[in-house]
Amino acid sequence: MSTTAVAAVTAILLVAVASTVIGAVGHRARRTSDFLVASRSVGPLTNGGAISGEYLSAASFLGVAGLVLRDGVDALWYPVGYTAGYLSLLLFIAAPLRRSGAYTVPDFAELRLRSRGLRLLCSVFVLVIGWFYLLPQLQGAGLTVAVVTGLDPWIGSLAAGVIVIATVAFGGMRSVTIVQAFQYWLKLTALALPAIVAVIFFFGSGHTFDRPAPPQFADRTTVDVGTDVELTGRTDTAVTVGPAGAVVDGVPVAPGTAQTWPAGSVHRVATGGELVFEAGADVPVPVGRPALDDRWLTPMAGDGDHQLLATYSLLLATLLGTMGLPHVLGRFYSNPDGRAARRSAVVVLALLGVFYLLVTLLGALSRFYTPQLLVSGQTDAAVLLLPTAVLGSGAAGAVLGGIVAAGAWAAFLATSSGLLVSLAGVLSSDILPGRAVADMRVRALKSATVLAGIVPVALATFVTQLDFAETVALAFAVAASTFCPLLVLGVWWRGLTAKGAIWGMVAGGALSVGAVSASLAGVAPDGVVGVLLARPAIVSVPAAFLTMIVVSLVTRRTRPANTDALLLRLHAPERLGLFRDRVERDDEPVDRPS
C-alpha cells in the first residue's frame, strides 16, 4: 500500500474505533425511551451538531462536490434544497409534531387518524425510504475504501455496514447523539483543511475559470473509466488507449492505439477502459454537461433537455422530502423543550450552510485539480482525490488525504446510524413480533437493527451506481410524495381521513418508487419521460396531495371524532404547560408542575 493508503486506512480505523468507543461508553441503553430519544437531556449546541452530523451524509460530503465539478453552478440546487428542506420542516410541522408526542411518522399517523392499516403502510414507507437513503451511504463508504486502497468497493460497503449495525445495536441513541455531534465537527475539519490548502495553491497558480475553454490535464494522465460514459470535446482530442485496453463506441481497441476524437463528436467508453491523455490536452466532458469553464460558471449552461422541469422537480423533492426522512424527525425530541428545539434549528442551519459552502468550494477547485474524473465518471471521488492532486502523494498529501477519507467515513457512519435507529424502531414496533413487554422491546430493537441494516448492505453490492447526490435525491422524492402530504395535511387540515391518507400515499408512493426503481435499474429513455423518471417529484407530489384530498372529501364521514381536540393539541404552544407528550407520560408522573 502507498503512504496515502496507509494514512487513510489508519484515519478511517481511528474514526470507527472512536465512534464505537464513545458509543459504548456513553450509555447502556436500558429503557426504550432512552434508546430512541436520548431521554431529552441534550443541549441545543450538541443537538444541533448531532442533527447536522446526522443529516450531512455521503451525498453531501462526496456527491455535492462531484456534481459541482461536473455541472457547475447548477449543482448548487442540491445543497440549497437540502438546507431549505430543513426550513420547511421547521416552519410547517416540527412544532406541531413535537407536541403530538409522536416521534415517528407511523406513530403520528395512528394518533391522528386512528388506523392500523395506515400505520402499517407508513412503516413500510419508512423502510423503503430508509433503505433508498442507506444505499448511497454504503456505496459511498465502498468508494472511499476503493479510492484510497484500491480494494474492491464491496469490502468498504460491508465494513461500513457491520460497524454501523454494531454501534447502533450496542449503544442506542444517547451515545449516537454524542457520536454524531463529534462526527459533524470531524467532517467540517476534514473539509476545511483541504479547502484552505487548495485555495492557497489555487490562487498561487493564477488560474481562472473565467475563460471560454475546457479544463485541461496538467500532466500526462492515465484515466481508468469507472462507469460507462459518453464523452465529447470542444476541440480535437488526442487519446491513446492504455495497457488495459478499452472498448470505445462498442469496438474493442488494442492497447497503445492512438485515436483523434474530432471536435464535437461523441464517444462511448465502456467501464474498465483505460485512456491516456497528454499534458495540456483538453478534458472531454460527459455529454450534456457544460464543457467550457465560463459556461460551467453560469446557471443552466448544460445542453440537457428540459432543465427547467428537472430543476423545479428536484427543488420540490428536496424542499418537501426532508420532513419525511425517518431519521430527521426523531431528532426534535432530544431537545428538552420547544425553545431549545428552535435554538437547535438555528444552530443546524448555520452548520449546514458552512458545510455546504466548503463542499461547493472543493467541488469547484476539483475542476482544476482533478478534471480526469469527468472522463472516468467517478466525480463522486473529487473530494477524496483533491489533497493528493494539490499536494502530491508525499507525506503532506497523504496526511491530508487521510483526514478527508476519515471525514467521508464519518459522514456514512453518522447518517447510517441515525437511519438505522429509526428503521429499527419501526421494524420492532410494527413489523416484528414481541413488542409488548418493555424488556423484550429493547432486545427486539437490537435484532431489528441487524435486520434493518442487512438489506441495504446486500443491495449496495449489486445495484447500479448513480451519483450519490442523485440517489439520495430519489429518496427525498419518495419521502416528498408520501410522508409530506400526510404530515402537512394531517397537521393543517381537519378534513383528512384515513382512507384519503392511505390512497394518497399509495398513489404518490407507486409513482415515485416506480420512477426511482427504474432509475436505479439504469432505465433512462430520452426526453420528458427520462427527466421525470430521474426527478419524479413534480408529478408524484401533486398526485399524492390531490388523491389524498379528493378521497378524504369523498369519505368525509369517516373523519375521526376527536380531530378537533387533537388539532388543538397540535397547535397550542407547548408553553401553555398543559400537554405532556407520550414519552414523558410513560416515564414520569403526569401532573408534575412545569
Partner 1 sequence: MSTLGERHTVYQQAQASPEFAQLRHRLRRFVFPMSAVFLVWYLVYVLLASYAPEFMATKVAGNVNIGLVIGLLQFVSTFVITTVYVRFANREIDPAAERIRHGVEGPA
**Of residues 27 and 99, the one with the C-beta less far from partner 1:** 99
Is residue 189 part of the contact set for partner 1 (CB under 8 A)? no
Contacting partner 1 (CB under 8 A), which of 571, 586, 587, 588? 571
Contacting partner 1 (CB under 8 A), which of 97, 197, 315, 502? 315
Is residue 79 part of the contact set for partner 1 (CB under 8 A)? yes
Candidate segments 415-423, 467-475, 533-541, 563-571, binder of partner 1 by CB under 8 A: 563-571
Cβ atoms of 581 and 100 within 8 Å: the answer is yes
Is residue 213 part of the contact set for partner 1 (CB under 8 A)? no
Is residue 88 part of the contact set for partner 1 (CB under 8 A)? yes
The contacts of residue 238 (CB under 8 Å, 6+ apart) are 258, 259, 260, 277, 278, 281
**Of residues 283 and 349, the one with the C-beta less far from partner 1:** 349
As measured in angstroms, the least distance from the Cβ of 234 to partner 1 is 18
Is residue 529 part of the contact set for partner 1 (CB under 8 A)? no
Is residue 350 part of the contact set for partner 1 (CB under 8 A)? yes
Is residue 76 part of the contact set for partner 1 (CB under 8 A)? yes
Cβ atoms of 529 and 309 within 8 Å: the answer is no
Is residue 579 part of the contact set for partner 1 (CB under 8 A)? yes
The contacts of residue 107 (CB under 8 Å, 6+ apart) are none
Cell of 293: 469553464
Contacting partner 1 (CB under 8 A), which of 40, 234, 342, 559? 342
Is residue 356 part of the contact set for partner 1 (CB under 8 A)? yes
Contacting partner 1 (CB under 8 A), which of 340, 345, 385, 583? 345
Paired residues of 229 in beta bridges = 269
Candidate segments 434-442, 502-510, 549-557, 569-577, binder of partner 1 by CB under 8 A: 569-577
**Residues near partner 1 (CB under 8 A), total:** 55
Cβ atoms of 356 and 79 within 8 Å: the answer is yes
Is residue 212 part of the contact set for partner 1 (CB under 8 A)? no
Candidate segments 27-35, 102-110, 346-354, 371-379, binder of partner 1 by CB under 8 A: 346-354
Is residue 205 part of the contact set for partner 1 (CB under 8 A)? no
Is residue 528 part of the contact set for partner 1 (CB under 8 A)? no
Question: Element (H or E) spanning 239, and its range?
Answer: strand 237-241
**How many Cβ atoms are within 10 Å of 302's Cβ, its own excluded?**
20
Contacting partner 1 (CB under 8 A), which of 92, 154, 185, 201? 92
The alpha carbons of the chain give a radius of gyration, in whole angstroms, of 24
As measured in angstroms, the least distance from the Cβ of 514 to partner 1 is 26
Q: In 555-592, where does DSSP find H-type helix?
A: 563-571, 582-587
The one-letter amino acid at 406 = A
Cβ atoms of 401 and 7 within 8 Å: the answer is yes
**Of residues 215 and 425, the one with the C-beta less far from partner 1:** 215
Is residue 154 part of the contact set for partner 1 (CB under 8 A)? no
Cβ atoms of 393 and 179 within 8 Å: the answer is no
**Of residues 343 and 559, the one with the C-beta less far from partner 1:** 343
**Of residues 44 and 509, the one with the C-beta less far from partner 1:** 44
Is residue 561 part of the contact set for partner 1 (CB under 8 A)? no
Q: Which of 334, 326, 332 is nearest to 37 (CA)?
A: 334
Is residue 582 part of the contact set for partner 1 (CB under 8 A)? no
Candidate segments 8-16, 175-183, 549-557, 571-579, binder of partner 1 by CB under 8 A: 571-579
As measured in angstroms, the least distance from the Cβ of 15 to partner 1 is 27
Q: Tell which positions 255-314 bind partner 1, by CB under 8 A.
A: 294, 297-301, 307-308, 311-312
**Of residues 261 and 369, the one with the C-beta less far from partner 1:** 369
DSSP structure class, residue 282: B
- The distance from CA 477 to its chain's CA centroid, rounded to whole angstroms, is 12
As measured in angstroms, the least distance from the Cβ of 578 to partner 1 is 6
**Of residues 251 and 308, the one with the C-beta less far from partner 1:** 308
The contacts of residue 509 (CB under 8 Å, 6+ apart) are 125, 128, 478, 481, 482, 544
**How many Cβ atoms are within 10 Å of 527's Cβ, its own excluded?**
9
Candidate segments 79-87, 377-385, 396-404, 445-453, binder of partner 1 by CB under 8 A: 79-87
Cβ atoms of 347 and 54 within 8 Å: the answer is no
Torsion sign across C-alpha atoms 41, 43, 47, 49: negative
Is residue 521 part of the contact set for partner 1 (CB under 8 A)? no
Candidate segments 202-210, 272-280, 283-291, 401-409, binder of partner 1 by CB under 8 A: 202-210
Contacting partner 1 (CB under 8 A), which of 162, 196, 279, 357? 357
Q: Nearest-5° angle of CA 453, CA 517, CA 552? A: 95
User: What angle separates helix 438-460 from helix 116-149, to the nearest 10 degrees?
Assistant: 50
Cell of 106: 407511523
Q: Nearest-5° angle of CA 362, CA 364, CA 365? A: 65
Report how far apart the first and last C-alpha atoms of the chain are (Å, whole number): 61
**Of residues 76 and 151, the one with the C-beta less far from partner 1:** 76
Is residue 339 part of the contact set for partner 1 (CB under 8 A)? yes
Buried b (16+ CB within 10 A) or exposed e, 410-447: bbbbbbbbbbbbbbbbbbbbbbeeebeeeeebbebbbe
Sheet containing strand 266-269, edge to edge, reads 251-253, 246-248, 266-269, 229-232, 285-286
**Of residues 75 and 138, the one with the C-beta less far from partner 1:** 75
Is residue 218 part of the contact set for partner 1 (CB under 8 A)? no
Is residue 206 part of the contact set for partner 1 (CB under 8 A)? no
Is residue 435 part of the contact set for partner 1 (CB under 8 A)? no
Interatomic CA distance for residues 81 and 78, integer angstroms: 5
As measured in angstroms, the least distance from the Cβ of 368 to partner 1 is 11
Is residue 195 part of the contact set for partner 1 (CB under 8 A)? no
Paired residues of 276 in beta bridges = 222, 240
HEC assignment per residue over 399-412? HHHHHHHHHHHHHH
Interatomic CA distance for residues 195 and 208, integer angstroms: 17
DSSP structure class, residue 251: E
Is residue 527 part of the contact set for partner 1 (CB under 8 A)? no
Instruction: Kindly list the residues in this chain that would bind partner 1 in the complex (CB under 8 A).
Output: 73-74, 76, 79-80, 83-84, 86-88, 90-92, 208-210, 294, 297-301, 307-308, 311-312, 315, 319, 339, 342-343, 345-346, 349-350, 353, 356-357, 360, 565, 568-569, 571-579, 590-591, 593-594
